[in-house]
């Protein structure tokens, strides 16, 4: 990246599969914003833990996290067996989008 800014976000949010709310989670995200060749990009990774609702998010495909401030982020989840904490990565290059 030509330039970058890193931000950490953590709070409670809601996970949706299509239009159906399937879980409430606690999330911790690392957001790296930067420009490459004059084009702005966001790279987001992090972890989530389910506190209510569907417990198995790993095989659900693309999911949407609605963050506490109203923004949305499309992600994929994977889990280490028995840990209860999901590693999450962006499902596309859209990054965080306003509600």
Among the listed ranges 39-43, 48-52, 84-88, which one has the minimum average pLDDT value?
39-43
Residue 47 lies in a domain: yes
Under a CB-based contact definition with an 8 Å cutoff, are residues 48 and 68 in contact?
A: no
CA distance 41 to 34: 5
pLDDT one-digit tens code per residue, 60-75 = 999 999 999 899 999 9
Q: How many domains does the structure of the chain reveal?
A: 1
Residue 60 lies in a domain: yes
pLDDT at position 96 is 85
Residue 25 lies in a domain: yes
pTM greater than 0.85: yes
Residue 27 has pLDDT above 60, yes or no: yes
Residue 63 lies in a domain: yes
């Amino acid at each position: 990246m030509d330039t970058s800014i890193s931000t950490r976000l953590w709070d409670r949010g809601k996970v949706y599969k299509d239009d159906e709310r399937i879980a409430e989670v606690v999330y911790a995200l690392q957001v790296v914003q930067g420009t490459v060749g004059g084009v702005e990009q966001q790279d987001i990774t992090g972890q989530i833990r389910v506190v209510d609702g569907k417990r198995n998010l790993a095989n659900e495909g693309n999911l949407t996290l609605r963050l506490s401030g109203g923004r949305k982020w499309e992600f994929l989840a994977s889990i280490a067996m028995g840990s209860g904490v999901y590693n999450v990565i962006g499902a596309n290059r859209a990054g965080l989008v306003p509600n």
